Structure 1
Amino acid sequence: MKKLGKALLFLIGIFSWMAADFNLGRKKHAACGKTAEKFPFRHSSISIFTNGPSFFGDFFEDIRQAQKSIHILFFTVKRDAFSMDFLRLLMEKAKAGIEVRLLLDRIGSKDISHLLIRDLRIMGVHVSFAAVPQFPFFFYSSQTRNHRKITIIDGKTGYLGGFNIGKEYMNGNPKLSPWRDYHIKVTGEGVQDLQTQFLKDWEISAKENITKPQAYFPMLAKGECLQQFVSTNGAGLEEMMLKIFNSAKKHIIIGTPYFIPSKRVLTGLREVLAKGIKITIIVPKNADHLFVKEAAYRYFRVLLKEGAYIYQYQRGFYHSKILLADDTICDIGTANFDKRSLFLNQETNCLIYDKSLIALVQNLLEEDIQHSRPLTEDMLANMGIFIKIKERIAALLSPFL
């Protein structure tokens, strides 16, 4: 009994420390007064990828063709065969004299060992980790991740979206295949903003003052698509979402792997429904993380009751990060529709205002709906006891999901 009592006291102490650490860290972060960083409106050329083979074929070829610099930031790089092919390509380019910088989130890319980092550096790749957990708020800082996925090649070509580096993104995990995602390739004026964001993150993480930064900013031609990049750091994403909601006159479509909105965002969606505006939400049928699927159910009950349409994607795993309002604005980027992206993560999104590109995205989303099945109030009401228990647990964990 004494051992059990000591164990319980130890667990209570650990959980109390975690709660205090998280709350104090969050208060300190809020006191900094950070908001979204809105880059200027730009004219760029944008193409969209929705599957791994087409995206990585283009992505790897652009890396092979690089002449001066390769700047890459990913949340996750694994250590499987596909990831090693990617890392070997970077080593080949660095050995050939191309400046290669690779920035990885410390938690998301935890599989990358010190030996592998050493090998990359020996071959000339500059490697650093972003968002390394640190004291005095170790637990809080372990939750605030750099979730951006940005690549800039020669300062002329940029990539942004949902794909990371790992076999599952190339349909190598049977449970999550085929993988459906949205990732954009950017040329034209907007590339300079992706470069600016990468260099900011690099300087903070690597503690390196970049000299002669003008070398990374060549002259860029205008593209045909009006767009704006927005970066957030645990603040500002709510306001951006609410602004998009309020702009809608006919319909809103949300594509996300995780639906765990804040109170303000949920209220905003309910206000949209009250105006008679159609809301469609697309989520995966199968989850890639524990409890995230069940965490969405309590919000779905509210929205379904008030007229929203919710679809579960059946054809593999659904990892898109899309928010579309009418034919006027489309948001594609790295932010999920969850509390992590809203209040913890560093994210970058692209707001697109080009009607032809928005129409293309809407057609792709209609395809997603064709490969989905509706989720209904009756289905949620008839969930088994095990699912209901998981839903209760998920509600408690929702700030971290």
Structure 2
Amino acid sequence: MKEGMAMAFFMIILFVLLVTVWIRLDFSLGYSRHLRNNGPMLYPYRNGDIQFFSDGQEFYQHYFQSLQNARSSIYVSFYIVKGDEEISQTFLTILGKKAQEGLQVYLLLDRLGSLKASNKILKQIQRQGVHFSYSHTPKFPCFFFTLQARNHRKISVIDCQTGYLGGYNIGKEYIGKNPKLGYWRDYHLSFTGAGIQDLLEQFQRDWNQTGANRFHLPEISAEASGTVRYRFISTYGKALDDQFLSFIHRAKREIIICSPYFIPGSKLQTELLRALERGVKVRIIVPMRSDHLLVKEAAFPYYGPLLKAGAKIHRFYPGFYHAKIILIDEAFCDIGTANFDKRSMYLNDEMNAFIEDRAFAEKVRASILKDIHDSEQLLYEDYLKRPYVQRVKEKAATFVSLFL
């Protein structure tokens, strides 16, 4: 009896060790191959016009109208398309109708992010002429790595004249219709001008990597007009942390970080503490509520040292906070798809806009100050009083923080 139990225990331990070794090898090999085949792309500075959205209803109204008004082509990439009728099916139906009208329509979705998208409607719009493909379908031999990798970009280019990039995905929760999360606060941008060719080039790179029928870039007639100076950067699980470090280094007076998931890692944490030492004000805005398991707990180990050093942490409470912004000295801001967390920096495919324009940065700052007004400040003494059970969860969250 005892020998049988000992053997069973030994077999369980052996199985756990084998699975652990397999996961480590799988992830290491998959990640190395991914980085060999991809790399960060820093596009040139452009001048153009940018429209700023911070409300889901306003964004969808503008975005859907642009899709309906399209006359020649639509190129769209989203991380998440849900299965609801109100927003997601309306979006897919528009794409199908535009393809029937003879437009070139391409739709690229992340395989796991858009798991709830209606297969019935996806097949229907393909019959109508929409070119469709998935990014990052999990596959062997590096199944665990491909299960973790995500195309987190949200890129749209319409008629090669108007582009979109930001935090909104497609679904009714982004207009506040998820009862658990409530009002959804996010930031998205619309671009015109020469930068459209960079968004389209990135879409082409992502599309061609899926193995679907390749396509060549259409002729771009967008002129380098507009008053806002900006550039795009795309990353593939590397180099984004270096960009974020450069933002912190350049700060002289103020750093504002908005992110639904704040898991910066040791390098960025150290630089934020150094910024506080040299007198830079640091403000961090995060959600009070959580939409994923353990992400809230994974942030708390970073809060303590920052609060003790003088940073201010504000937790948005009217709903869910999904904004992804870094604002430096009221003159420079980074807005895009990347969160201030390890997943965005070391796993996801992301794309951000670096905007060098004081007037635009001041407009964004005014919106963030409203978010701060609608938030509760986390005080250091409250941080110290958090219960033992939460501290245990924080330990577990830290262990898996790369994958949250």
Please tell me the TM-score bracket, short chain as reference: over 0.9
- Alignment partners' CA distance in 2, 1:248 and 1:345: 26
Partner of 2:184: 179
Residue aligning to 1:42: 46
Q: How does 1:53-72 map to 2 (within 5 A)?
A: 53-72=57-76
Task: Quote the offset at 1:174 in angstroms.
Answer: 1.5
Question: Which range moved further: 220-229 or 309-318?
Answer: 220-229
2:160 alignment partner, one of 155, 165, 183: 155
Q: Is the 1:321–1:332 Cα contact (8 Å) retained in structure 2?
A: yes
**Distance in 1 between the 2:65 and 2:182 partners?**
24
Gapped regions of structure 1 (runs ≥ 5): none
8 A Cα contact 1:37 1:231, kept in partner:
yes
79-88 vs 159-168, greater mean Cα deviation: 79-88
Partner in structure 2 of residue 95 of structure 1: 100
SS at match of 1:349: strand
Q: Read off the aligned partner of 1:84 and give its amino acid letter.
A: Q
- State the alpha-carbon separation in 1 of the partners of residues 9 and 370 from structure 2: 55
Which deviates the most, 106-115 or 182-191?
106-115
Which of the residues 372, 390, 404 maps onto 1:387? 390
Q: Residue in 2 aligned with 1:397?
A: 400
Deviation digits for residues 154-212 of structure 1 (CA, Å, limit 9, x no counterpart): 0000000000011110111022121000000111121111111111111111443324x
Contact 2:196 2:222 in 1 (8 A): no
Aligned-pair distance for 1:24?
Answer: 2.9
Alpha-carbon offset, residue 351 of structure 1: 0.4
Amino acid at match of 1:186: F
Deviation track 1:42-80 (CA, whole Å, cap 9, x = no partner) reads 001001111110000000000000000010000001111
Aligned residue-pair number = 398
CA contact (8 A) 1:34 1:235 kept: no
Matched, 1:347 2:350: yes
- What is the CA RMSD across the aligned residues, in angstroms? 1.6
The 3 A distance-change label for structure 1 pair 274 and 57 is same
Query: 2:367 aligned with 1:364, yes or no?
Result: yes
| Alpha-carbon separation, structure 1, partners of 2:13 and 2:83 | 37
**Which residue of structure 1 aligns with residue 267 of structure 2?**
264
For each residue in 1:104-161, what CA deviation from the matched residue of structure 2 results, as whole angstroms up to 9, or x when unmatched? 0011011235444321211111110012222221111211111000000000000000
Do the aligned residues in 2 keep the contact of 1:188 with 1:220 (CA within 8 Å)? yes
Cα distance, 1:60–1:33 mapped onto 2, change above 3 Å: closer
Deviations 1:204-262 (A, max 9, x none): 11443324x233x1232411100011111111101111111111110000000000012
User: How far has the Cα of 1:34 moved from its partner?
Assistant: 5.3
Cα distance in 2 between the residues matched to 1:206 and 1:114: 20
Percent identity between the aligned chains? 42
The correspondence for 1:317, drawn from 307, 315, 320, is: 320
**Letter matched to residue 198 of structure 1:** F
Amino acid at match of 2:79: F
Are residues 73 and 34 of structure 1, via their aligned partners in 2, closer, same or farther at CA, if it must alter by over 3 Å? Answer: closer
Q: Helix, strand or coil: the match of 1:312?
A: strand
Task: Give 1:153's aligned amino acid.
Answer: I
Q: State the AA in 1 paired with 2:251.
A: A
SS, match of residue 296 in structure 1: helix
- What secondary structure does 1:176 align onto? coil
- Give the 3 Å change call, closer, same or farther, for CA 90–28 of structure 1 in structure 2: closer
Which residue matches 1:194? 199
| Mapped partners of 1:96, 1:28: distance in 2 | 41
2:247 is equivalent to residue 244 of structure 1? yes
* 2:180 counterpart SS class: helix
TM-score after normalising by structure 2: 0.95
Q: 1:303 and 1:159 mapped to 2: Cα distance?
A: 34
